[in-house]
Amino acid sequence: MRPTNVGDPDYFHKVVDCQWACPAHTPVPAYIRLIAQGQYGDAYLLNRASNVFPGILGRVCDRPCEPACRRGRVDEAPVAICRLKRVAADHRGDIEAQLPKKPAKTNGKRIALIGAGPASFTVANDLAPMGYECTIFERQSAPGGLMRSNIPAFRLPEHILSEELNYILDMGVELKLGAGVESMKALLDENWDAIFIGTGAAKGKDLILPGRDASDRIHIGTDWLDSVAFEHTENIGKNVLIIGVGNTAMDCCRTSLRLGAKTVKVMARKPRAFFKASAWELDDAEEEDIEILVNHSPKSFVIENGKLVGMVFEKMEYTLDDAGRITGQSVSGEITIPCDDVILAIGQDNAFPWIEKDAGIEFGKWDIPKVDEATFESTKAGVFFGGDAAFGPKNIIWAVEHGHQAAISIDKYCQGKSVSDRTPDDVKLAPTKMGMFEWRYSNAYDDSDRRKMRHVELVDRFSKLDVEVELGFSPEQIATEVERCLNCDVQTVFDAPLCEECDACIDICPVDCLSMEASGQPEDALRTALHSTEEEQALFVSDSLPLTGRVMIKDENVCLHCGLCAERCPTAAWDMQEGLIHIHHANDQDAGGGESLS
């Protein structure tokens, strides 16, 4: 194996598992340190620079960071990253003066943003302070897209949503409500300098089974949540069946309880291991006594006298292989389950009925537009897609990242530059040593367990639709949870010429992730020497050491970033340095990097 090139910004970035996993690459450990210091406002702003909606995402993010968290590899549970993001938002104080401002004058470039969801708002957030005249078109009567219509208020209170959207509107962004765009060609004729389409994956999938059209008590989940959010629907029957077991299904079942349903059953076609919903959303639903029935495949609706009275399911049996994959299935019987309403939550599609086939925008498979994965440009120059509209249903944090990338493209396009010529990430290392065994991060390992979010009591939560269930972290919970973070962005930086091969670092390492081995060995041999099993994670290999010509190797998989190697190193060959990974947005494409993140 050749020596590792730590100058590659991705090398240290990958070590910060949470940041690497986050589509918007939020610098998680850096903001957790700010929370630990009580600098909630700064923690909020640092978050906002990457993910734009810390208050919203701190509640409802899909949190890809948490399964990635290193803590989950050395301990039972990952750091409660999402909860800490909410802590930063809850306690941020007055930060409005530090937000990007409406520019004194605009640059005259007009950008149309279709759909007032997270993607369009992110584009506006990035471009408006640079002088672009952004106009958001929304068919509904309030902005937010799926964040408003499909995420119930008991998970995301309306005022939290509005506050963060208003920050962006205050940058001089125009919002046109009740203004659905009916024709792409007409829009193109309006001579916008660029058009961004962030209309989401707005069409919930239907389930065509016998009896489907015979009742108006069969609802499509996303449409139904929509009508609840905009107060067109205010009640539901006593017995409700939810078909599907994704996150939309979880929102539908919990919303049903709040509209008067007494028994709500979620019907899953497959076993639990195949559920699409996030584990915590399942937990939260089950806490509210939602019953989830597995291995029930919908067959037909039962209609009596023009009224929906139940649904027939086939009971499924599956055979699984050792890896848990389904290798066969059979039907073992049928069952009829009575109900008053059925809500279909089996997925969403993109739909662009308003884009004419001859508008110059090519569509690929499944009527999804052809969009460049790096620039988000469609096949028509100057027309960009982002969020669920681009590649199908994902989640808010992906929409934000799409927005950032599309904003870069729109800026370049409007300035006559190549949209594919983008500034790469860079990394800067900053020392953390403050003195003998003193670092400017909390390096000691804290073995506390993950703190559990407090919830409103069951008896109190169903009185109104918008009683927020999660209460946020208490001061004690904050103080403990921040110490669970391992500070993976404080990197172990090795300077081979200084090493005198005393073994002190290897001997002290609590997870045995270091070794010195003969140089020139293949990766397999080095991994064996470290008992390293996780090949997704990198192996660090140093330059040749001065006394013996061996190499220092390190398994990045389990390193705790505790700094004991650096504390025990007599020559400071190991040092703990904060790796500032600079990810360029639209406003610093020419900066060339080097700006500090914190």
Partner 1 sequence: MSSFAKPLIRRKDAPTNDLGLIRADYDGAMSTLCAGCGHDSVTAGLTRAFFELSIAPHKAVKVSGIGCSSKTTAYFLGQSHGINTVHGRMPAVATGAVAANSALSYVGVSGDGDSLSIGLGQFVHAMRRNVNMLYMLENNGVYGLTKGQFSAAADFGASSKKGEINEQPPLDPVSLALSVGATFVARAFSGDKDQLVSLIKAGLKHKGFALIDVISPCVSFNDHKGSTKSYAHAYKYYHPAIHADYVPVGKEITAAYQAGELLPVEMHDGGTLQLRKLQNGYDPRDRARAMAKVFETKDSDETVTGLLYIDETQKDMHALNRMEARPLNEIPYAELNPGADKLEALQKKFR
| Residue 531 Cβ vs partner 1, minimum distance, rounded to whole Å | 6
Region for residue 261 given its phi and psi (left: phi exceeds 0; alpha: psi -120 to 50; beta: otherwise):
beta
Report the residue from 156, 161, 562, 586 that binds partner 1 according to the rule CB under 8 A.
562
Task: Determine contact, residues 94/106, Cβ cutoff 8 Å.
Answer: no
Site string for partner 1, 401-440 (x = CB under 8 A): ------------------------------------xxx-
Q: What is the DSSP letter of 454?
A: P
Report the residue from 73, 212, 276, 422 that binds partner 1 according to the rule CB under 8 A.
73
| Residue 446 Cβ vs partner 1, minimum distance, rounded to whole Å | 9
CB atoms within 10 A of CB 249: 28
Backbone angles phi, psi at 311, to 5 degrees: -145, 145
Report the residue from 336, 474, 533, 596 that binds partner 1 according to the rule CB under 8 A.
533
Nearest to 86 by CA among 528, 336, 453, 353: 453
| Residue 547 Cβ vs partner 1, minimum distance, rounded to whole Å | 4
Nearest to 25 by CA among 48, 43, 51: 51
What tokens were used for 535?
A: 């090949």
Check residue 569 for interaction with partner 1 (CB under 8 A).
yes
| Residue 28 Cβ vs partner 1, minimum distance, rounded to whole Å | 21
- For residues 189 and 356, what is the distance between their CA atoms, to the nearest angstrom? 13
Check residue 571 for interaction with partner 1 (CB under 8 A).
yes
Task: Determine contact, residues 224/233, Cβ cutoff 8 Å.
Answer: yes
Which stretch of DSSP H or E encloses residue 311? strand 307-320
Task: Determine contact, residues 342/311, Cβ cutoff 8 Å.
Answer: yes
| Residue 178 Cβ vs partner 1, minimum distance, rounded to whole Å | 55
| Residue 500 Cβ vs partner 1, minimum distance, rounded to whole Å | 5
Site string for partner 1, 144-173 (x = CB under 8 A): ------------------------------
- For residues 508 and 390, what is the distance between their CA atoms, to the nearest angstrom? 49
Check residue 511 for interaction with partner 1 (CB under 8 A).
yes
CB atoms within 10 A of CB 457: 8
**What one-character-per-residue DSSP string does 482-515 give?**
HHH---TTEEEEE-GGG-----HHHHH-TT--EE
| Residue 447 Cβ vs partner 1, minimum distance, rounded to whole Å | 6
Identify which of residues 388 and 567 has a Cβ nearer to partner 1 in the complex: 567
> Is residue 203 classed exposed, middle or buried when 0-12, 13-18 and 19+ CB atoms within 10 A define those classes?
middle
| Residue 448 Cβ vs partner 1, minimum distance, rounded to whole Å | 12
Report the residue from 6, 74, 77, 453 that binds partner 1 according to the rule CB under 8 A.
74
Check residue 590 for interaction with partner 1 (CB under 8 A).
no
Residue span binding partner 1 (CB under 8 A) among the ranges 13-21, 105-113, 295-303, 531-539: 531-539
- For residues 408 and 423, what is the distance between their CA atoms, to the nearest angstrom? 10
Identify which of residues 246 and 563 has a Cβ nearer to partner 1 in the complex: 563
Residue span binding partner 1 (CB under 8 A) among the ranges 139-147, 202-210, 238-246, 498-506: 498-506
> Which positions lie near partner 1, rule CB under 8 A?
73-74, 437-439, 443-445, 447, 500-504, 506-508, 510-512, 531, 533-534, 547-548, 558, 560, 562-564, 567-571
